[in-house]
A and B are shown apart, each in its own frame.
Chain A
Amino acid sequence: MNLLGQAIDWIIQNPEEFNRALGQHLLMSITAIVFALAIGLPLAVLILRHGSMAAAAINSVNGLRTLPSLAILAIMMPILGIGLWPSIVALTILALPPILINAYIGLRDVDADVIEAATGMGMSERQILRKIRIPLAAPAMFAGLRTASVQVLAGATLAPFIGGGGLGDFIAVGIAGMDQARLLVGAVPIALLALGTEFLLGQTERLLFGERRAA
């Protein structure tokens, strides 16, 4: 409790430094999520059309998933150097698997009878995608977004290792200086961010798609 009090004191006394780190953390995370969505969703549609590509894409993305976040950051360093951008790239890679896999499975596993009915009534492939598959896969896509967001917010903690900044800075400094209060300045907000996001997106998901599941 005393440590937590010290951490809060530190934040009150160094608002700019804290806010800058928080801002970087959010910027990195949100940018990475946006990139992952921009890559993952179209890729899911693409591999849906070409079954042979699907296995290859899913397997390589799953391979990425088994790499620890730290390893991804380490791999990024020699390729992209240090700073914010390499962290964003690394976090995008972290966010891609849940987004791509959820979207792909959601799009693929739409009830075959529904597709048969849509085809039989004269919808084109494109119309089936837009009016049937995407809306029906939306809950799965959203679930992917939720998983990815939590992973990225937590994963961004490691960005300081490649000079990416963010709340992880405080943890790094705290560990280096054996200053537990400083460590908490980073750790507690990160945990709150991750939990809060999980909760908010969960509520949004229920709000958007709850009715469909009920009854």
Chain B
Amino acid sequence: MITMKNVTKRFDGTGAAAVDDLSLDIPDGITVALVGPSGCGKTTTMRMINRLIEPTSGTILVSGRDVRAADAVELRRHIGYVIQQVGLFPHMTIAQNIASVPRLLGWDAGRIRARSSELMQLVGLEQSMLERYPRQLSGGQRQRVGVARALAADPPVLLMDEPFGAIDPIARTRLQNEFRQILKRVKKTVVMVTHDIDEAVRLGDRIAIMRDGRIVQYDTPETILSRPADGFVENFVGADRALKRLTLFSTGSIMTPGTGDASLPRVDKDGDLRDALSAIVAARSTAAAVVDEEGKMIGTITQAAILAV
């Protein structure tokens, strides 16, 4: 779907390449998180895909077509783009913001209205907000609108540069979880830039770890966390990588079904294994009872089972 072949970017008047002979294959419908320390070339890599930056050398294909063969403006109308500061148009209502790309593509008013209302539902905003101005929304709501706007014309590809960077940590985790659900539903090919490994683990189907303009490891979160390619990756993912890895599994998928023991600490079946382990450790127990949405006990999860994952 997106293929980068030996792509190099050297900005005028700078010595080292910002992106250095980078190759990356992104299959259809998955989310790839580009992570790495500040200045490693994540944004530059992403912005070359929609030609906001032109590569010095190398080839980039989107849906099999060389991006340089297309008109840059036309190309961008078919690639969704979300930035950290959102960049909503302050003089336009939310409805007008969302309608931006469909208008550029010449959709009729009825189709735009139907699509806008569908998108508001998708990103979890009330229809009444369509008539508001960006200033009248919270940061989290604005970011949802930013995503709705990027998805408006149903582009096959979505680029997101630190989409949660400007949101406070508590709202961020919730929004990330919601976005994972949204991205699953819309089946887009997503390239997301972040410097937060937790965000990458939470949202990425694959993670590309970058350093000095190169990719040092490109793998599933599970592999990155369990088998970091080198010391740099190991250090970057953090000393708690084994615990982070546990967040990739839900309690419900590991538990032993049964009636459960009322004396055990309780954990939610949709929670992750790190939280389950934490509950077990906190109660100085060796197991926990798993409950469903209604609080009914549906099984047991043991410390040993968690450690065996």
Taking Cβ atoms with an 8 Å cutoff, the residues of A that contact B are: 111, 113-124, 127, 131-132, 135-136, 211-212, 215
Indicate the member of B75, B77, B88, B91 with the most A CB atoms within 10 Å: B91
Q: Is the CB of A121 within 8 A of B135?
A: no
- Enumerate chain B residues within 8 angstroms of A118, measured Cβ to Cβ: 87, 89, 100
Distance in angstroms from B94 CB to nearest chain A CB is 14
The distance in angstroms between the C-alpha atoms of A127 and B77, with both chains bound, is 13
A115 cross-chain contacts in B, Cβ below 8 A: 87
Chain B interfacial residues counted at CB < 8 A: 27
Asked whether, in the complex, the Cβ of B73 is within 8 Å of the Cβ of A113, the reply is no
> Which A-B residue pairs are the 7 nearest by beta carbons?
A117-B87, A122-B77, A122-B76, A120-B81, A113-B85, A113-B87, A135-B91
Contact residues in B for A121 (Cβ distance below 8 Å): 76-77, 81, 100-101, 104, 149-150
Chain A residues in 8 Å Cβ range of B90: 111, 114, 136, 212
User: Is chain B's binding surface mostly helix, strand, loop or mixed?
Assistant: mixed
The residues of A that contact B104 with a CB separation of less than 8 Å are 121-123, 127
| A residues near B136, Cβ cutoff 8 Å | 215
Are A136 and B91 also in contact (CB < 8 A) when A122-B74, A122-B77 are?
yes
Given contacts A111-B87, A121-B104, A136-B91, 12 further A-B contacts (CB under 8 A): A114-B87, A116-B87, A117-B86, A117-B146, A120-B76, A120-B83, A121-B77, A121-B100, A122-B101, A127-B104, A212-B90, A215-B136
- With both beta carbons as reference points, the residue of chain A lying nearest to B76 in the complex is identified as A122
Asked if A119 and B91 sit within 8 Å, CB to CB, the answer is no
Q: What residues of chain B have their CB less than 8 Å away from a CB belonging to chain A?
A: 50, 52, 73-78, 81, 83, 85-91, 100-101, 104, 133, 135-136, 146, 149-150, 159
Which of chain A's residues have a CB closer than 8 A to the CB of B73? 122-124
Residue ID in chain B nearest A121 by CB atoms? B101
Nearest Cβ in chain B — how far from A136, in angstroms?
A: 6
State how many angstroms separate the Cβ of B137 from the closest Cβ of chain A: 10
Residues of A with C-beta under 8 A to B101: 121-122
Contacts of A123 in B (CB 8 A): 73, 100, 104
CA distance A135 to B50 in the complex (A): 26
- A214 to B, closest residue via Cβ: B135
Measured between beta carbons, the chain B residues less than 8 angstroms from A122 are 73-78, 101, 104
B150: nearest residue on chain A (CB-CB)? Answer: A121
Q: How far is the CA of A191 from the CA of B150 in the complex (A)?
A: 53
| A113 with B89: CB separation less than 8 A | no
User: In the complex, which residues of chain B have a beta carbon less than 8 angstroms from the beta carbon of A120?
Assistant: 50, 52, 76, 81, 83, 159
Chain B contacts for A132, CB-based, 8 A:
89
In the assembled complex, how far is the CB of residue B131 from the closest CB belonging to chain A, in whole angstroms?
12
Give the distance in Å from the alpha carbon of A135 to the alpha carbon of B133 in the complex. Answer: 15
Contacts of A127 in B (CB 8 A): 104
List 13 A-B residue pairs with CB atoms under 8 Å apart, sorted by A's residue number. A113-B87, A118-B89, A119-B76, A120-B76, A121-B149, A122-B74, A122-B78, A127-B104, A135-B91, A136-B90, A136-B91, A212-B91, A212-B135
Cα of A115 to Cα of B87 in the assembled complex, Å: 8
